[in-house]
Amino acid sequence: MRDLPPRELQAYLATTDSDPLLLDVREPWEFRICSIDGSQLIPMGQLPAALNALDPQRETVVICHHGIRSRQVAMFLDYQGFRSVINLAGGVDAWARDIDRQMATY
């Protein structure tokens, strides 16, 4: 598991040949306010029940509001044997400040 701040993650996503899952672990109301294009919502509390639907061989980028919940989920996925897990450090809040200034914030 590794942490990447928004600028590093954006650069990585632009150059990688893999097709990472952008896994947003916030609540539905948060996701409705703002989200990173292409991300899939599975709230943190629902993740254990949805674990079998995820591919542990697929690179997974975990996203939340400030990077705290996503770090916990990233560590959980790593413990569950997921091959490559990245935490978006600073979450969508940092993404909105550093990458997409048009993104709504809360």
Cα 72 to chain centroid distance, Å, stands at 11
Check if the beta carbon of residue 106 is closer than 8 Å to that of residue 96: no
Distance of CA 95 to the CA centre of its chain: 11
Identity of residue 72: Q
Supply 87's token pair: 């935490």
Q: Which of 23, 36, 64, 96 is catalytic?
A: 64
64 classed as catalytic:
yes
Query: What does the block give as tokens for 20?
Result: 């990472």
Catalytic site positions: 64
